[in-house]
Amino acid sequence: MAESRNWAFPQNLQPRPEEVDFDLDAALDSVVLLRAEIPETAFTAPILGTERAGYGVVIREDGLILTIGYLITEAASVWLTSNNGVAVAGHPLAFDQATGFGLVLPLGRLGAPAIECGSAATVDVGDEVIVIGQGGRAHALKARLVARREFAGYWEYLLEDALYTAPAHPQWGGTALVGADGRLLGIGSLLVQDREALGGEAGQGNMFVPIDLLEPILDELLKFGRRAGPPRPWLGLYVAEVQGQLVVSGVAEGGPAARAGLRKGDVVVELAGARVSGAADLYRRLWRLGPAGVEVPLTLARNGEQVRALARSVDRNDLFTKPKLH
């Protein structure tokens, strides 16, 4: 995601104070710029890069910042910049694989106000919303909620009720999705070009993680840096749904799928003896097998032949470089 500051939405796409029933300036100021540096040796560096930029949202009076977790995964350093020009270091406090949320603790006073968290249940398809990046009105976009549906990411990620908006914010990672009452509804995760995902809308949109997923796990994230309980099994398997088949589009180097001999182009037919009907079905069946470490039997189609593989799953977090307090 580019981080150039020399751009602005057209005036007619920017929210205006007289159009809303809340303190727009305060909402804009709650969003901060986030830059993270990741070691070249980090597990996620080849995929996500070593320099990442996006946004975070101040959600508590003590300055706690909510962001999208891929920005801070394995970060060696994090810097935060508010709309008033204050820049402070931040500590990557937590990352939850299941939701995709990340938490950052500022190591200084940003002077940015906290935004109140709302609920995605209060917004319906067709409702007007605002997508906010750091930089004031110039980087805030009037949009609509165009769909809410299941989202299955190719990287073993699943949301039951993702939020989709249009038009698209071009710098989406960690943006704040704000409703008509000025409360936070979600955190920006992806740029989407799938017309079906966007409820039939042409063009581009954004996918957001609903804020409702945070409250049940917030205390655990603050205490442990991750949610409590046994970690989910992970295979390091990247998949794509192609003409009704679940095709392996890649495997994480050194991951369980790679060690079990899975290859790009394989078709996943069964998991633990049960046929899989898509990525979401694959993930649900995988996670029901047990915690990380469980063996995962797979049946594949390869060059017209049936191939069986046995992968021993792992906890993905064990592969990540751990953050250090500054």
Is the pLDDT score of 1 beyond 60? no
Q: Residue with structure tokens 């189609």?
A: 301
Q: What is the mean pLDDT of residues 286-305?
A: 97
Give the long-range contacts of residues 61-64, CB within 8 A, separation 24 or more. 61/114, 63/105, 63/106, 63/109, 63/110, 63/112, 63/114, 64/93, 64/103, 64/104, 64/105
Relative to beta strand 31-37, strand 77-81 is antiparallel
pLDDT digits (tens, 9 = 90+) for 195-219: 777 777 778 999 999 999 999 999 9
Mean pLDDT over each residue of the chain, to the nearest integer: 94
Q: How confident is the model at residue 2 (pLDDT cuts 50, 70, 90)?
A: very low
- Using 50, 70 and 90 to split pLDDT, how confident is the model at 325? low
Closest among 173, 167, 149 to 205, alpha carbons compared: 167
Q: How far apart are CA 33 and CA 78, in angstroms?
A: 10
Local confidence band at 14 (pLDDT 50, 70, 90 cut-offs): very high
The total of other beta-carbon atoms located within 10 Å of residue 52's CB is 23
- For residue range 101-114, what is the model confidence (pLDDT) as tens digits? 999 999 999 999 99
Would you tell me how many other CB atoms lie within 10 Å of the CB of residue 319?
16
Torsion angle in degrees (nearest 10) through CA of 246, 249, 253, 254: 10
Determine contact, residues 110/32, Cβ cutoff 8 Å: yes
Contact 37, 50 (CB under 8 A): yes
What domains can be seen in the chain, in order of their start residue?
A: 23-114 (2.40.10.10), 120-216 (2.40.10.10), 237-319 (2.30.42.10)
User: What is the DSSP annotation of 85-132?
Assistant: S-EEEEEEEEE-TTT-EEEEEESS---PPPPPB--GGG--TT-EEEEE
For residue range 65-119, list pLDDT tens digits in order: 999 999 999 999 999 999 999 999 999 999 999 999 999 999 999 999 999 999 9
Q: Please give the pLDDT value at position 84.
A: 95
Asked if residue 3 has pLDDT above 70, the reply is no
Tokens encoding 204: 């581009």
- The length of the chain is 326
Per-residue model confidence (pLDDT) at position 89: 98
The model's pTM is: 0.94
**Separation CA 326–CA 322 (nearest Å):** 13
The DSSP annotation for 241-287 comes to EETTEEEEEEE-TTSHHHHTT--TT-EEEEETTEE--SHHHHHHHHH
Of 54, 52, 36, nearest in space to 135 by CA? 54
Residue 211 identity (one-letter amino acid): I
- The larger pLDDT score, comparing residue 324 to residue 49, is at 49
The pLDDT of residue 210 is 98
pLDDT, one tens digit per residue, over 130-186 is 999 999 999 999 999 999 999 999 999 999 999 999 999 999 999 999 999 999 999
- As a whole number of angstroms, the distance between CA 319 and CA 253 comes to 11
pLDDT-based confidence at 323, cuts 50/70/90? low
Instruction: Report the distance separating Cα 226 and Cα 224, nearest Å.
Output: 5
Phi/psi for 162 (5° steps) reads -75, 155
Residue found by looking up tokens 């593989």 in the block = 309
